[in-house]
Chains A and B, each alone.
Chain A
Amino acid sequence: MLQITNLHARVDDKSILRGINLSVKAGEVHAIMGPNGSGKSTLAGVLAGRDAYEVTDGSVTYKGQDLLELDPEERAREGLFLAFQYPVEIPGVNNAYFLKAALNAVRTHRGQPELDAMEFMALVKDKAKLLDMDSGLLSRPVNEGFSGGEKKRNEIFQMAVLEPTLCVLDETDSGLDIDALRIVAEGVNALRSPDRAVIVVTHYQRLLNYIVPDFVHVLSEGRIIKSGGKELALELEDKGYGWIEADGAAVARG
């Protein structure tokens, strides 16, 4: 589904990603871990099409298309979803109205008819229940005045409504208490399916107790320096990133 080859990207003049290779197949869950500043969020941002990042080399193929050629909205309509690390507050734009516009943009792209207000409300009420979301949040402006937990839940709620094929979760666990973490993870797990893939970007292992990955990759200084199964996450939790980074540096020198 997703093929990242030798991806290099920079912000201003600082190179952040320095040769990422990653292949994600439908049905898989990949965790991308790494210390602060290793490039995790940059990778998520490049995939979603944030224009602060400049891709300087490499390629990203998504469902057979050159992902980097697509506008952010085209990527979203093709089924790529980024759950933001910092969901943006948009005063004056009603949450339900926003989500209906998004869903209908995606549906139109898929050749499905647009949902009318009634059908839409029925759908979102269902999904809100799934995430134990107060339906009052729907009538409020997008993320405005939401608590940290409500914002993250709102991201996964949007994901549940839009039903993407590739979900990229950028530090979705940060700022969540244990109950919210569980609810968010359940929301993600409910979306797991053989034709959907998930990339979980996280600093800590704890989210991976709930969203169990098939693969774990360690990102350091803009490169994946180690890949493994879910047990790699536990090892990292145990030993920290230091030992692996030392290894990685040795490999790079060697």
Chain B
Amino acid sequence: MAVAEAHDLYRARFDALAARREATDPIWLAPIRARAMQRFVALGFPTTRHEEWRFTNIAPIAATAFAEPSITAVDRSTIAPFDVRGMSCTRLVFVNGHFSEALSSAGALGAGVRATNLATVLAVDPGLVDPYITRCASDEDQALVALNTAFAHDGAVIHVPARTVVPDPIHVIYLSTTSGAPTVSHPRTTIVVGDQSQVKIIESYGGPDGEVYFTNAVTEVVGGAGSHVEHVRVQRESLSAYHVANTQVRLDRAAVYAQHSFVFGGALARNDIGAWLGAEGIHCTLNGLYLASGTRLVDTHTAIDHAKPHCESHEVYKGMLDGASRGVFNGKIFVRLDAQKTDAKQTNKVLLLSDDATINTKPQLEIFADDVKCTHGATVGQLDETQLFYLRARGIGEAQARAMLVHAFASEVIDHVSLEPLRDSLESTLLTLLPKAALIG
């Protein structure tokens, strides 16, 4: 399918949905969707001629006629691999972009906290999302965000009122599964955390291995003044799937936000993560781990925007590439004129486990204030020979020593996650993906 045809396909599908949308959407959403559709058609699928997509060719996505999914219910065993065992939580499960009440379950939320789904909110309480939707993630120059806005049917809506501590974490699971033909879903997550409130949220994306589908996700997070948010993203899509996700975070004064992103799946996975530090005293952490093997491509673009003074940002991204896989990392940090006393630190480490794996990594610091501390470091390489020798000099065989060091490299990112059952779950996923993991244990 040519790219122009792809646009026509989505355009036609959008028009066909118009009547149904009229019945389900609140009145204010119609012009937002219409404009988003226009932006998508005007911008088109990004190509490698776009600076932000230079190394990531999404032509396979543009060229596939993804159908609307027909499956909206699965049995519990299908989501089990993406669940976190032993974690008491509120669980919101979506199957191919549709909320599944049967698979979802309630945990301890606290008074006034809403953990629900967008379709329900749009039908009965649209005011809950009206002030937020598209406010963080702009459709203006992001074609795939625009496509999501035009089509988003459902997704998690989490709303924590001010001065509320949410006792149990909230786990949002987006499951994709097909009946053979490739399908697309556009999950839309809205997270609003009031002043002085605390919450831990996990977004999991997954699907049965071998299935071809396209997840085009957008997540918007608003962190109020003094709020504490731990946000973990776990991407375990089918190794044949396409995953494009855009997560945009806006933080208010003295907010503390920590995101841990794990990319384990997808034939082509692209993550855009942006944080807007729009007031003083904010602490923002963006950590990530991505693994790729075979001919997979994993691309991460992060942007931290320091707009006001006295904010800190810490970013550690680690990638591990095997086979003929490719990695892309672009880490932008903006320090605006007003953002004096900014403390920003970015580290990007990539471990190449084969001669054929490649990485394009680029820190991009744009600093307009003069009294700031900004550091960045990028390393690309193989395992450290002195560490390897040290382990061997104690009697540990070379293969086991290598496996230990590879595991250590990756598990450091997992160690920063505060929820123990989730750490255990991430560890066991990691062990299934590492080469020679049987040698450690």
Contact = CB atoms under 8 A, between A and B. Distances in A.
Interface residues of A, number: 30
A68 to B, nearest CB: 15
Interface string B87-108: 0000000000000000000000
Contact of A73 (B398, B407, B411): B398
B395 A90 contact: no
Contacts of A92: 405, 407-409, 411-412, 415
Most buried by B among A77, A87, A98, A99: A98
A90 B396 contact: no
B388 to A, nearest CB: 9
Contacts of A103: 395
Nearest to A87: B390
B400 to A, nearest CB: 7
A144 B158 CA distance: 40
Interface residues of B, number: 23
Interface in A67-120: 71-73, 75-77, 82, 84, 87-88, 90-93, 98-99, 101-103, 105-106, 109
B23 interface: no
Contact of A90 (B398, B405, B411): B405
B407 to A, nearest CB: 7
A166 to B, nearest CB: 13
B377 interface: no
Contacts of A48: 393
Interface in B378-422: 386-387, 389-398, 400-401, 404-405, 407-409, 411-412, 415
B290 to A, nearest CB: 17
B409 A90 contact: no
A91 B410 CA distance: 11
A163 to B, nearest CB: 12
A18 B86 CA distance: 63
Given A88-B386, A88-B387, A101-B404, A162 B392 contact: no
B208 to A, nearest CB: 31
Contacts of B395: 73, 76-77, 102-103, 105-106, 109, 162
Contact of A72 (B392, B405, B408): B392
Contacts of B400: 101, 105
Nearest to A50: B389
Contacts of B390: 84, 87-88, 90, 142
Contact of B389 (A72, A141, A158): A72
Nearest to B408: A92
Most buried by B among A48, A84, A92: A92
5 contacts: A50-B389, A90-B408, A102-B391, A102-B395, A105-B394
Given A90-B390, A92-B415, 5 more contacts: A48-B393, A50-B389, A73-B396, A88-B389, A101-B440
Interface of A: 48-51, 71-73, 75-77, 82, 84, 87-88, 90-93, 98-99, 101-103, 105-106, 109, 141-142, 158, 162
For the complex of A and B, list the 6 residue pairs with the smallest distance between their C-beta atoms, beginning with the closest: A92-B408, A76-B395, A102-B394, A88-B390, A72-B392, A105-B395
